[in-house]
Chains A and B, each alone.
Chain A
């Protein structure tokens, strides 16, 4: 609490701390890269300085933009993202060197990282107040569905390894589902903050649990069935799992009812058991998980447990401190640079390194939830929770799959794994979290954003002063937020969004 206290009263921007951590992160990434060269080829790679400089330029650009535009943003998010991304680059480079043909995939990944950092900066610059996103609640919902549908379009969609989740333009391929998860988080935050009360208070009561009315819950069911259904058609288990977890988590945060979690887990177990029997690819994963160490699963050629078990062998070979970069044999595992990059790290930097990686994810998640707690508006709280949960769930699904805690599903490890779309999407999430945390920690008197303004002077904040002084601002709020309010009103007759009172305030000038 008192951390909160200190930040609200005289918040320290901690920008120099961010710079220090950023320099440390770049040092770690660059030395990892150099160690890979030392381990595999015996010499430090010739381009290590260019590599370090590129990372440093990217990090410094986003640091300066944050300092300039989001001064109070959380100080650890950028360094952690840079560190994870840099470690990932080094490992991709290492796996590349271990292959018979050199694909230079770490350069490709570095270009994607540049794009991702650029998009994160764009998010910080464009989204000046996260509340602005709330106006695009339903637009985001439809856009998310559209993005999820894109790979099913013949000619545009591409099937890679049995999953039809890519779209290909020329030689480039992209997973639109990664962007869809951000859009869905925005949609759910906006929708739930408006309809939270109806969801909780109205509806029939069955078995002591109050179920929401269909008309309140309808859009959620539509979005959920559509996204999960599409993913079943596209055969992408990991993303379905991610979306489902995201929905349950956000419903729980919005309504603070444990029954949602119970219902969600119940639905999930039913769905999972049904999918095991209905779809052969799900069944394969489950049997490969249960009987991973049996000879028949290990030797089964399509869809056996070979990859999983090789990953486990790799990690056990790594032990406590790993074999060292370039000393292990991560290439034994298929997809050592993407799906199984966690196992590659386990082999080469051991448990001591894996714990750093896991701690980094934990801190990102903690910062997101912390930000959600500090925020003073419901939409931001839900959005920050949703975004942090996407990262946390993704890590859980991947790491759980690789370490054989849960059946293996194909998801990318955020920031580490090779794959441009995931990297870009995660950088956008970092951009959004930076923006939201800036708003959460910014002192009240500095709160000048595009959407609303809070005056600081206590004397002037009396009732009479508000009439004259704030009229312009409130009128502007009315203009900006009118579409949301009207939309909510026409949808349900009872507009109860946050903005409604503001609209009244704008028209009457004062509240009393």
Chain B
């Protein structure tokens, strides 16, 4: 085989090699190239998908499939209802969770949505659920209490964006 063909093959090899890398990057796009762009896209897609079959209470606090899609870029931020919670301090820092249909529970027991391995957390410590069109945090009779923005709560509180929730050594923040 001529030298020229071999050279062509060599470059073809490089092309598919880098195609592979680009393919991987494409699959991981949202992870690698920042989340914001992907999130708007996925949120739009999701609202379409979830609009039809959601009789769950989630639809209420999610408040409107249309606004995120129709709103100008960044408009989602002004929503008063949080769309996600993120662990900002504690052993699980960095974990985040979308608030969707099911209630989110916190505590030491492994059946919680977020398992907090902490001596200061009770086995089922607190819960966030949808009530009357808002996300409501309630303490489930924990020993050491749930602290919201520096105050220990004794009755369920409605969550807004930017609320800080402290359970044991773990601090969570609600986000849009």
Partner of B17, one of A356, A457, A463: A356
Q: Which of A10, A14, A256, A452 contacts B91 (CB 8 A)?
A: A256
B99-121 contacts to A, CB under 8 A, are 100-103, 105, 107-115, 117-119
Q: Is B152 an interface residue (CB 8 A)?
A: no
Q: Top 10 A-B pairs ranked by shortest CB distance? A: A2-B39, A501-B123, A3-B30, A2-B35, A511-B124, A501-B108, A6-B42, A5-B98, A9-B98, A378-B117
Contact of A31 among B13, B57, B102, B117 (CB under 8 A): B13
Whether B10 sits at the interface, judged by CB under 8 Å, is yes
- Quick check: A511 and B27 within 8 Å, CB to CB? no
Contacts of B27 in A (CB 8 A): 14, 17, 21, 75-76
Known: A21-B20, A452-B110. A28 touches B13 (CB 8 A): yes
Interface residues of B in 26-50 (CB under 8 A from A): 27-28, 30-32, 35-36, 38-39, 42-43, 46, 49-50
Q: Which residues of chain A from 444 to 489 have a CB within 8 Å of any chain B CB? A: 444-445, 451-454, 456-458, 461, 463, 470, 473-474, 477
Apart from the given pairs A376-B114, A511-B107, 14 other A-B contacts in the complex at a CB distance below 8 Å: A3-B38, A5-B35, A5-B98, A35-B10, A38-B1, A79-B24, A324-B7, A352-B14, A366-B28, A366-B32, A377-B117, A452-B111, A461-B105, A498-B115
CA–CA, A461 and B23, complex, Å? 41
Is A197's CB within 8 Å of the partner chain B? yes
For window 255-274 of A, CB contacts with B under 8 Å fall at 256
Nearest to B169 among chain A residues (CB) is: A197
B83 proximal to A (CB < 8 A): yes
Question: Contacts A3-B38, A38-B1, A461-B102; is A10 near B20 (CB within 8 Å)?
Answer: no
105-157 of chain B: CB within 8 A of chain A: 105, 107-115, 117-119, 122-124, 129-130, 140-141
With a CB–CB cut-off of 8 A, which chain B residues contact A454?
A: 111, 113
- Closest CB-CB distance, B17 to chain A, in whole Å? 5
Please determine whether B31 and A197 come into contact, CB atoms closer than 8 angstroms: no
Q: Chain B interface residue count: which class?
A: 35 or more
Q: Are A511 and B122 in contact (CB under 8 A)?
A: yes
Is B28's CB under 8 angstroms from A2's CB? no
Q: What number of A residues sit within 8 Å (CB to CB) of B?
A: 82
Nearest neighbor of A75 in chain B, beta-carbon distance: B27
Q: Which residue of B lies closest to A474 (CB)?
A: B111
In the complex, B51 has a CB within 8 A of chain A: no
Report whether B16 and A28 are in contact in the complex, using a CB–CB cutoff of 8 Å. yes
Q: A445 vs B54: C-alpha distance in the bound complex, in angstroms?
A: 14
- A38-B1, A76-B24, A256-B91 known; A27+B110 contact, CB < 8 A: no
